[in-house]
Amino acid sequence: MLNSQTFYNSRPDGFGVLEVASDPSAPDAPRKFVPLMRTALTGTVTGPLATLTLAQNFALPDQSTDILEALYRFPLPGDAAVTGVRVRFGDVEIRTTLKAREAAETDYKEAKRAGRQAALVTRESPDVFTLAVAGIRAGQDIVVQTDYVQVAKVEGAGWALRVPLTTAPRYVRADEADSRHADGQPLAVLRDPGHRFALDLTVREAERIASPTHALAVEGDRVRLREGEALPDRDCVISWGAKTEDAQPALRTWVHADPATEKAYFLALCAPPKFASAKKIPREVVLLVDHSGSMRGAKWEAADWAVERFLAGMSEHDSFALGLFHDTTKWFAERPRKATPDVVREAVAFLKTNHDSGGTELGVALEQALDRARVADTPSRHVLILTDAEVSDAGRVLRLADLESEKPNRRRVSVLCIDAAPNAALASELAERGGGVSRFLTSSPDEDDVTTALDEVLADWSAPVLTGLTLEVNRVRAEATGRTVALVVPGPASAVDIGDLPAGRPVWVVGRVPLDGDPLSFRLRTGAEVAAEVRADAGRATSGLKALFGADRVRRLEYVMTGGTSGDKLRAELARLSYDAADVGEEKVFAENARDTATKYVRELLVRESLAAGVPSSETAFVAVRTEAGQPVTGTVAVANGLPAGWSEPRFGSAGGAAFFSALMASPSSVASVDSMLMDFDGSDDLDNDDDGNTTTDFDPLERQRGINVPIPPAAPKFLYRKAAPPPPSVKVPAPQVPRPGKAPPLSRDIRVNVKAGQHVPADGVVLYDSATGGEGQLTFLAVTFGDKALTADQLDPELTLLLFVGDLASPRARVKLVDVLRQGGRRPLNVRRAANQPVRLALEDPAGAWTSGVPALEIVLGWKD
């Protein structure tokens, strides 16, 4: 059995990660983990709709004599609709059956006990699935194929598709520990988990196909990874532009008529134009900044910089509140305050002096934010959350957004999600229900500088705002996923609430309406003004819309089940989803009884809805059992997830389950090296005990992970030890820059660039610093000091920008406006990785010609960390 206090690649509850060392005497041999070898995503993307297949290949080395069961907790897009799972055992392919979860688990366990090959796919949370495969043996490949459809996000005039490749540990509240969603955790986390990801997509009617996260090889409409395979340590994001003849209009629709359900399913792209009537209006903004342990490092620094920059851009007509949250929430003031220069300075000081950290109590903080006093006569009210959203209590968090949406003076909720592998499902759903927008930024220094990306996102919040946007459809009883729908009088028509958006920001609306009646027509309004009107386009019909709508219904029922409602409140929540909740029962006095009654009632609805729609839920599962006789399983191993890029490597302790993950989130630490090991499964080192104490091979992977407590078997297993090979430079994550007891602080060799007055003429495009040599490291900050100490930000042209190039001298990794740096005290954070001997260039952009007579005297410091 693994000793979790000795081996960092083990789970505290006893799961091991099996590693095969072809030559144990060679400590530098490449690492090879089994049984998952490779994950590949294939499929076709047409317009915004992606029809995809995720194939997971399992195998054992030919010399292995073990019969293994593998457990892998893997991510899928939270807004995707899984339409089926197929399993191939060698040459035999079996399509799984979707059943109630308890029945599917029973089938799987019985098959495993009988020595038959089997596979089980369960859903823990909307974006995290568990795959159990029994009967993996040498010489036979096992492939599990998961089919799903997904709608791409709008990206300018084109689209973007986000494919999650790993799952980060999520904070679990004590009162959420028994929820299915709390199990949406990795079984193990390693910087190099031993398996790889491959991509092969066909993107039709597209141009300018690119990725901000991975190097691509694009041949016509075929898209693959340039290196063939990649370490699964971050989301894979693919973006592309629509062809010129297919440019986005203000309103575009796709419709699927389904006679079986007597419904028409629709997908509408609403892209409000930049009306001349759009204008800057007084805003009331509540800023919620995540200071939990998982935000440590570049994410924390960039988030704080973003807050400073945002506050500096507010006018004295705007009001704001500022809250910092982790285990608790600390507020700058009890009520929103006007954004005067003095108040802004006080808020920045408050931000910089509060560095305490802990867990991620996002829901508690959001409830306090929505409860803040509202400023009178403010037409635009917003909550802007900066977080990685790594929490498991999504049901209650989303319930807050639903309740807020019913208020006449509601606040819109938007999310800036910062992480290489964020909880994108929660962030997107929260923004949709909150009537706001969600944006995702990587925290990896190997990608774009996170602070530069935040600067670009926050520019949207300085744009003119369109308020009261609605999408009208000529039907009553319309339903729209994640949005409030109201009856239009006179009608017949329904109005779908879209929210307050910066002019020109597109959003999706997915819904369904009764099939009978006149041909479908849609109308986009901003207040009383009609922005666009279209009739349904049958030429763009697609059956995938029905699955997407069904998956959303299932997801929303799951959130209701975990949202903590009962009695009349539960009836109201279900009525919003068009369910008759007459039999839900009376309000209970004791919380335990109320929760059990509500959960039982919603679970029955959830199973029925899931099976009817043919999409999985947390209470249903896909199962496949091979009829041919096999061999008994001799051991169970967990497949590790890749440590998300930008995270410090966790040091596993003795805490278990939810407490372990909470501790990890609160204080992630760095591990310079870890020991790895091999367990030989020879029948004497089985992973479970019967009640009588006898060792058996019937280890139940379906027990709740936090309840597992597997004792050490009587016969000690054999171990082979060796030091793990160091991770490749491309995935190395630097340790936190906090001196440890007894250790020297990290080596720092800052780069100083001194410019004399008039040294560079003309100014625009001038190179201030250029170097093609140097070691590997990370640029951590940029500081600017002018020779003229009396120079202020108000005296600078706002378009003066420093461009930092690293490696690629054609595309800057960071764009730094001098005005912003000066307003924030002359220094801003960077998180830019530099490989050995990559060129580094610092250039000046002066499009207005403010410094055509020459650059003034200044000093620029680039912070450097080995």
The band of 371, judged by pLDDT with boundaries at 50, 70 and 90, is very high
Of 12-21, 181-190, 521-530, 852-861, minimum mean pLDDT range: 12-21
Please tell me the least confidently modeled range out of 210-224, 355-369, 662-676: 662-676
pLDDT attached to residue 574: 83
Name residue, tokens 């807004």: 79
Q: Which of 667, 779, 778, 786 is nearest to 732 (CA)?
A: 778
Ramachandran angles phi, psi of 376, nearest 5°? -65, 150
pLDDT for residue 5: 32
Q: What is the mean pLDDT of residues 774-784?
A: 87
**For position 17, what pLDDT does the model report?**
44
* Top-confidence range, 148-162, 368-382, 489-503, 839-853: 839-853
Is the pLDDT assigned to residue 719 strictly greater than 50? no
Report residue 541's pLDDT band, with 50, 70 and 90 as the boundaries. Answer: low
Three state DSSP letters for 21-78: CCCCCCCCCCCCECCEEEEEEEEEEECCEEEEEEEEEECCCCCCCCCEEEEEEEECCC
**pLDDT (tens digit per residue) in 150-172:** 999 877 667 899 999 999 888 88
What per-residue confidence (pLDDT) applies to 664? 31
pLDDT at 295: 85
pLDDT for the residue numbered 715: 30
Q: Is the pLDDT of residue 100 over 70?
A: yes
* Domains, in order of start, for the chain: 249-275+468-544 (2.60.40.290), 283-463 (3.40.50.410), 551-614 (no CATH), 751-865 (2.60.120)
User: Which of the two residues, 611 and 173, has the higher pLDDT score?
Assistant: 611
Arithmetic mean of pLDDT, 723-742: 34
8-state DSSP, 564: T
**Residue scoring higher pLDDT (700 or 622):** 622
Gap between the Cα atoms of 730 and 445, Å rounded: 10
Which of 349-353, 511-515, 644-648, 688-692 comes out lowest in average pLDDT?
A: 688-692
Q: 102-116, 739-753, 796-810: lowest mean pLDDT where? A: 739-753
Please state the rounded mean pLDDT for residues 146-150.
95
Lowest-pLDDT range of 432-436, 501-505, 574-578: 501-505
Task: State how far the alpha carbon of 628 is from the alpha carbons of 57, 107, 634, 774, in Å.
Answer: 21, 15, 18, 61
Q: What is the mean pLDDT of residues 216-230?
A: 94
* pLDDT beyond 90 at 116: yes
Residue, of 542 and 773, whose pLDDT is higher: 773
Confidence of residue 273 (pLDDT cuts 50, 70, 90): low
| Spatial distance between the Cα atoms of 597 and 437, rounded to a whole number of angstroms | 35
Residue 666, pLDDT > 50, answer: no
Pick from 539-543, 560-564, 567-571: least confident: 539-543
Mean pLDDT of the chain: 78
**Quick one: tokens of 270?**
């609403």
CB-count exposure of residue 446 (10 Å: 0-12, 13-18, 19+): buried
Q: How far apart are CA 296 and CA 665, in angstroms?
A: 10
Stretch 432-452: mean pLDDT? 70
Strand, coil or helix: what is 430? helix
Query: What is the C-alpha separation between 336 and 41, in angstroms, rounded?
Result: 47
Q: What tens digit of pLDDT does each residue of 3-41 get?
A: 333 233 333 333 344 444 334 444 444 444 458 999 999
Mean pLDDT of 368-390: 86
Convert the pLDDT of each residue in 613-625 to its tens digit. Answer: 899 999 999 999 9
3-state secondary structure 191-219: CCCCCEEEEEEEEECEEEEECCCCCEEEE
Strands 97-100 and 620-625: antiparallel
Using N-to-C axis directions, what is the helix angle for 362-370 and 394-405, rounded to 10°?
10
Which pTM was predicted? 0.75
Distance between CA atoms of residues 840 and 797, nearest Å: 25
Q: Of 554-558, 607-611, 675-679, which range is least confident?
A: 675-679
Residue 632 has pLDDT above 50, yes or no: yes
Contact in structure between 862 and 777 (CB atoms under 8 Å): no
Residue 571 Ramachandran class (φ > 0 left, ψ -120 to 50 alpha, else beta): alpha
Residue 713: partners with Cβ closer than 8 Å, 6 or more residues away: 1, 684, 685, 686, 687, 689, 695
Q: What is the mean pLDDT of residues 357-369?
A: 92
User: What's the average model confidence in pLDDT over 383-402?
Assistant: 90
**Buried b or exposed e, range 571-594, using 16+ CB within 10 angstroms:** bebbebeebebeebbeeeeeeeeb
806 half-sphere exposure, CB direction, 13 A CA radius: 23
Is the separation of the CB atoms in 556 and 484 below 8 Å?
A: no
Round to the nearest angstrom and report the end-to-end CA distance of the chain.
Answer: 38
Q: For residue 459, what pLDDT is reported?
A: 57
Residue 277 has pLDDT above 70, yes or no: no
Judged by average pLDDT, the poorest of 147-161, 414-428, 569-583 is: 569-583
Q: Which of 20-24, 188-192, 536-540, 736-740 has the highest mean pLDDT?
A: 188-192
Q: Please tell me whether residue 368 adopts helix, strand or coil conformation.
A: helix
So what's the pLDDT on residue 500? 66
* Confidence bin at 444 (pLDDT 50/70/90): low
